[in-house]
């Protein structure tokens, strides 16, 4: 792993690089509480010819906090990273809670293609919220009613608590990934790094991602693929059917035999949609 920081609007935005230095650059936006320490495909990146650039959202890892952080401001931060490390638009993969930030980045024109891998849904959308279990719907409603209060509550989280929550409930088809010691070590390391500045960055991300997304994010202006595991009951109540239908021109694929661990269990499914030569 190598990496660096980019200065943008007086703040540092940190990133790490995985895979061959001469590979096609692909920006990766990880899920909740994680940043540049999270990656996927491992040694297969060499076979794919992909140089994976994993980024820290503000307040996570080594990226400076941004008290006025929005989905669009983070998209602009990541656009600055792309300008620095690639100098041209690149394919983008956004996983789980990273999805709305990936859509915001796409609207800057710096994404040549966008793949939403097991993306969190727009839970503030009424038609999606209506499909949620009661407890989850109440959580979404509580954030909408008092986002500052929700920020305070979420700021009590720790890296260990979030790890335990992720590992508390997953389908048998995800065991091959989530029970793997190497994956667990990577996730623990990524979360510890993501919470190194405290939980405020994670809390703000969660409030932003759980609140209704700005309508312009449904018009990313770039080829967009929504990819879900068929056993995924965590990220979306209808496995992205409503989400894909709301994003202009998006395609949706459901992969059988896997849940939310899709990105690590079947990385070739994601990479095949990036438009990388030879994949």
Residue 279 lies in a domain: no
The pLDDT, as a whole number, for residue 73 is 98
Residue 40 lies in a domain: yes
- The residues pairing with 2 across neighbouring beta strands, listed in sequence order, are 17
The pLDDT, as a whole number, for residue 171 is 95
Given pLDDT bands bounded at 50, 70 and 90, which one contains residue 1?
A: confident
Residue 28 lies in a domain: yes
For residues 65-90, average pLDDT: 97
Greatest Cα pair distance, the chain, in angstroms, is 49
Q: What are 143-195's pLDDT values in tens digits?
A: 999 999 999 999 999 999 999 999 998 999 999 999 999 999 999 999 999 99
Instruction: Count each helix (H run) and each strand (E run) in the chain, helices first.
Output: 13, 8
Q: Is the pLDDT of residue 138 over 90?
A: yes
Residue 278 lies in a domain: no
Percentage of residues of the chain with pLDDT beyond 90: 96
Residue environment code for 249-274, b if the CB has 16+ CB neighbours within 10 A, otherwise e = ebebbbbeebbbbbbbbbbebbbebb
Residue 39: which of 5, 2, 77, 13 has the closest Cα?
2
Residue 99: which of 251, 272, 235 has the closest Cα?
235
Residue 63 lies in a domain: yes
Per the structure, the count of domains in the chain is 1
Q: Which domain holds residue 184?
A: 2-271
Residue 102 lies in a domain: yes
Strand ranges for the chain from DSSP E: 2-8, 11-18, 24-29, 50-55, 90-96, 111-119, 224-229, 251-255
Q: What are 194-243's pLDDT values in tens digits?
A: 999 999 999 999 999 999 999 999 999 999 999 999 999 999 999 999 99
Residue 21 lies in a domain: yes
The pLDDT, as a whole number, for residue 227 is 98
If one compares 277 and 117, the residue with the highest pLDDT of the two is 117
HSE-CB of 228 using CA atoms within 13 angstroms: 22
- What average pLDDT is seen over the chain? 96
For residues 100-121, average pLDDT: 98
Residue 276 lies in a domain: no
As a 3-state breakdown, the chain gives helix, strand, coil percent values, each rounded to 5, of 40, 20, 40
CATH number of the domain that residue 104 is part of? 3.40.50.1820
């Amino acid at each position: 792993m190598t990496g660096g920081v980019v200065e943008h609007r007086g703040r540092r935005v940190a990133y790490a690089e995985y895979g061959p230095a001469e590979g096609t650059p692909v920006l990766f936006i990880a899920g909740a509480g994680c940043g540049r320490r999270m990656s996927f495909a491992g040694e297969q990146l060499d076979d794919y010819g992909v140089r994976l650039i994993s980024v820290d959202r503000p307040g996570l890892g080594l990226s400076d906090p941004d008290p006025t952080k929005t989905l669009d401001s983070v998209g602009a931060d990541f656009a600055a990273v792309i300008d620095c490390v690639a100098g041209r638009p690149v394919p983008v993969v956004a996983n789980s809670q990273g999805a709305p930030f990936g859509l915001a980045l796409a609207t800057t024109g710096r994404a040549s293609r966008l793949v939403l891998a097991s993306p969190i849904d727009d839970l503030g959308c009424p038609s999606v919220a209506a499909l949620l279990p009661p407890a989850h719907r109440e959580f979404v409603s509580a954030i909408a009613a008092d986002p500052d209060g929700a920020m305070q509550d979420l700021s009590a989280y720790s890296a260990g608590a979030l790890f335990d929550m992720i590992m508390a409930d997953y389908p048998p088809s995800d065991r091959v990934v989530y029970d793997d010691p190497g994956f667990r070590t990577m996730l623990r390391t990524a979360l510890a790094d993501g919470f190194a500045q405290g939980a405020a960055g994670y809390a703000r991300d969660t409030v932003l991602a759980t609140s209704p997304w700005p309508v312009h994010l449904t018009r990313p202006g770039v080829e967009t693929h929504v990819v879900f595991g068929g056993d995924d009951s965590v990220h979306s109540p209808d496995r992205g059917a409503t989400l894909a239908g709301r994003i202009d021109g998006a395609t949706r694929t459901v992969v059988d035999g896997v849940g939310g661990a899709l990105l690590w269990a079947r990385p070739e499914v994601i990479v095949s949609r990036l438009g990388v030569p030879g994949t």
